[in-house]
Amino acid sequence: MRARTVVMATVATAAGITAGLAGAGSAAAVTPLTLPHGGVGVALDHGETQTFANGPIPALIDQALPADAIAVGIGRGSQLPRSGNHVRADLPSIVTEAANQPNGRIALLVRGPELTVVQLW
């Protein structure tokens, strides 16, 4: 369901993600990121990733974006279904897999109209 190429309406989605995490009471340690060639993002620690996975935001993003609107960097040993370079999973599954790993975390990156979710563990 997900492709490497990312298309997203606006950078405001990143602000919405951060605001949603703040509303969940877990954003105190969210680490803002500035990408070297433009773009912004946030890195979530393990607890924040778990909170994010258990909240409504991943599903809302999935509903708002077309199927090929997000790029995914999967963690080593990921069990998400793949077909070639495409991850065949929805955003809640991607985030939950990271949240269930010991010290698993994610980063959300927006550059122009592109959103990338990176699993880290």
pLDDT in tens, 69-80: 789 999 999 999
Beta strands 40-43 and 105-111, pairing class: antiparallel
* pLDDT value of residue 66: 73
Q: Kindly report the backbone phi and psi dihedral angles of residue 72, in degrees, each rounded to the nearest multiple of 5, phi listed first.
A: -130, 130
> What are the sequence ranges of the domains in the chain?
12-120
> Helix (H, G, I), strand (E, B), or coil: what is residue 39?
coil
Q: 83 is written with which tokens?
A: 């077909």
Tens digits of residue pLDDT in 83-113: 988 899 999 999 999 999 999 999 999 887 7
Using left for φ > 0, alpha for ψ between -120 and 50, and beta otherwise, residue 53 falls in alpha
DSSP state of 29: G
User: What is the rounded radius of gyration, in angstroms, for the C-alpha atoms of the chain?
Assistant: 13
User: Please, what's the largest Cα pairwise distance for the chain?
Assistant: 38
pTM here is 0.75
For residue 26, name the pLDDT band (cuts at 50, 70, 90). Answer: very low
Of 44, 13, 14, 17, nearest to 29 by C-alpha is 44
